[in-house]
Amino acid sequence: MKNIFCLLLIALLFGCKSENNTAANQTKKAVTPAKSAMVPNGAKVVSQPIQTKRDTIIKPRANRTRYSVNRARPATEIQSAYPYDIDLKDAASKTVKSNQILAKNDKPTVLLFWLTTCFPCSMEMKAIKEKYANWQSEADFNLYAISTDFESNFPKFISKVNENKWPWETYNDVNREFRQILPGGLNGLPQTFVLDKNGEIAYHKRKYKPGDEDILFAKVKELASK
């Protein structure tokens, strides 16, 4: 009887240990997040990470305060013969018609087109300025420098005129209309035109390299002597 009692006690102890292990395993399973679950029809549903929508910051477009408006008339509406009828503005911001200031006095006329941002233009005008007094003593002619700058560059035009003190009249083509009527559309500056005593184009030059001013004056002298 004593031996039987000992066996029953041992069996009871092992039975409690097994129940404790089972309970622990069930508790562990209960607290472990399920990676997948079964829906009633047997299909597996895999859990997906939660996505958060990012805030999108849209920067407002910068206002374009500087832009150019084409105010030039069609070529058919512009007087195409010298002295034309184009609005010109001087460094004092006074606007006049070209036919009011471009002389028609039986002399050859030089029209020099330039830009304030054009370095070769500045080189050519500097070279002419250095020789201009001698030219005036050798030939009787008119010379006008006309910038084709956009309106936004007009303050720079004023500065250039005041700084260089050129000995000829200088204007800005307010509406950029000369390119509408002159050969080549003034594509590429500087450009120089020499008109004869009748206002007809007798010489046309694009761009500039040192010495070009001498070729220009040779043509002026030739026309002035006729």
Over residues 92-120, the pLDDT tens digits come to 999 999 999 999 999 999 999 999 999 99
Q: Could you tell me if residue 196 is inside a domain?
A: yes
Q: Could you tell me if residue 39 is inside a domain?
A: no
User: Is residue 24 a contact partner of residue 30, using CB atoms and an 8 Å limit?
Assistant: no
Mean pLDDT, contiguous 10-residue spans, the chain (226 residues): 50 44 46 46 52 52 60 96 98 97 96 98 98 97 98 97 98 97 95 97 96 98 95
Q: Could you tell me if residue 17 is inside a domain?
A: no
CA distance 36 to 44: 7
Q: Could you tell me if residue 217 is inside a domain?
A: yes
Do strands 109-114 and 142-147 pair parallel, antiparallel, or not at all (unpaired)?
parallel
pLDDT value of position 43: 52
Instruction: Domain count for the chain, please give it.
Output: 1
pLDDT value of position 11: 47
pLDDT value of position 67: 59
> Is it true that the peptide bond before 190 is cis, omega within 30 degrees of 0?
yes
User: Is residue 143 a contact partner of residue 110, using CB atoms and an 8 Å limit?
Assistant: yes
pLDDT value of position 116: 98
pLDDT value of position 65: 47
Q: Which domain holds residue 109?
A: 90-224
Q: Could you tell me if residue 218 is inside a domain?
A: yes
Q: Could you tell me if residue 197 is inside a domain?
A: yes
Token digits of residue 99 = 């036919």
pLDDT value of position 69: 81
Indicate which CATH number applies to the domain containing 98.
3.40.30.10
Q: Could you tell me if residue 45 is inside a domain?
A: no
Q: Could you tell me if residue 85 is inside a domain?
A: no
Buried b (16+ CB within 10 A) or exposed e, 12-25: eeeeeeeeeeeeee
pLDDT tens for 205-214 read 999 999 999 9
